[in-house]
Structure 1
Amino acid sequence: MKMFKRLFECLLVVLVLAPFGAQAAAEEWRGSYTYPDGRRSVPFVLTLSGSQGAVTGRTTEPNTFGNKSASQLFGNVRGTISGSSVSFTKTYDGTGGVNHSVAYSGTISGNSMSGRWVIGNTSGSFSATRVGGAQASPCDRCERFRGQAEVCNSCCHCQQTNNTNACRSQTNPDNFTACLNRANRSREACNVGCFGR
């Protein structure tokens, strides 16, 4: 009888803990948020666990407004992802004397996340890119390798072609030159690193 009781207790523990073990691995996102008054944007690293449904995580950013007792600020994140929509609240953990909450809402498209943040009557924008993982695209790898802000825009995107990264027009998938021959290598054009020149 004791053996059956012990077996039942073990089975109960497994059933209770199973949903926690099924949670998706943590993903790292790197991005920045901006203020409405034009101040310099603030970079951050966001680690999220979960996929569709509830997500939790943590943020790390340079200390740009807390007291000088800490060089970085940290926040705990709780929110939801539904389809391409994401919303979460970041609550600073008290480091640097900062402990308020900020609401974020936006959309996820592939390896990019962007949207708005709100605290009281103030709001601004944010954007982030997923780091690593199987879902990273060649364009994301180019951007990180180059270490630059230039990314492929809506005109072009990077695609693995014949073992090299090339830029392909989204409006005409057979047209590479419309993007490759752009003279302006700015945010409006494909990153030169994406096609190895």
Structure 2
Amino acid sequence: MHGTSFPSFPRPNPRAISVRIARDPNDLMLVAAIRAAVFLAEQDCPMEEEFDGNDLVAAHFMGFVGNEPAGCLRVRFFGEFAKIERLAVRRQYRRTRVSFELVQASVEYIRRKGFRKIYGHAQDRLVDFWAHFGAKPLGANRKITFSDFSYTEMVLDIEPGPDAITLDSDPYVIIRPEGDWDRPGVLEVSSDRGASSPLRSALLGEI
């Protein structure tokens, strides 16, 4: 009797770092778990201060080491600037470059959106980390205190990317999934069907 052979598949590099944007409730649960481990458990931040009501109006980035969720970061948007916040990395992954990869991915994402300024609050002990990316203190004595830590207001001047999305961009690019603007999305694939909805004819008949 001959043994059955099965194809072997390469295992992912357990040390490889990857970053992607959160897209569904499962991703948001992972983000919440990472932030709970870092901010609630380690820094003793009160629950209502960490989960502040802004998570559903923001973009979230997730960093992985191999297949393991290792860190996260949040971006919110205002008229003149984007704000990077809530960078959290699980203790066992702080000697990796996942924090750098998260910030770099978010900066490129913000450039793609056409922003020229990034604003943030750096814990005073982490000002040098943010300076690595070109961020500078916003001004003398621009400090605030919340959740028992002192923060320095930081700003990073950037140039929009050469492929920044504007009103002149392809409209199908604009409606692609957030942060995944270089691949055709499901809505433009649906355009192959044309305007064929039966509701269209019914509505036209009512005019």
Q: Looking at secondary structure, tell me which structure has more helix per residue.
A: 2
TM-score (norm 1): 0.26
Which protein has greater RCO, CA pairs closer than 8 Å, 6+ apart?
2
TM-score (norm 2): 0.25
Q: Looking at secondary structure, tell me which structure has more strand per residue.
A: 1
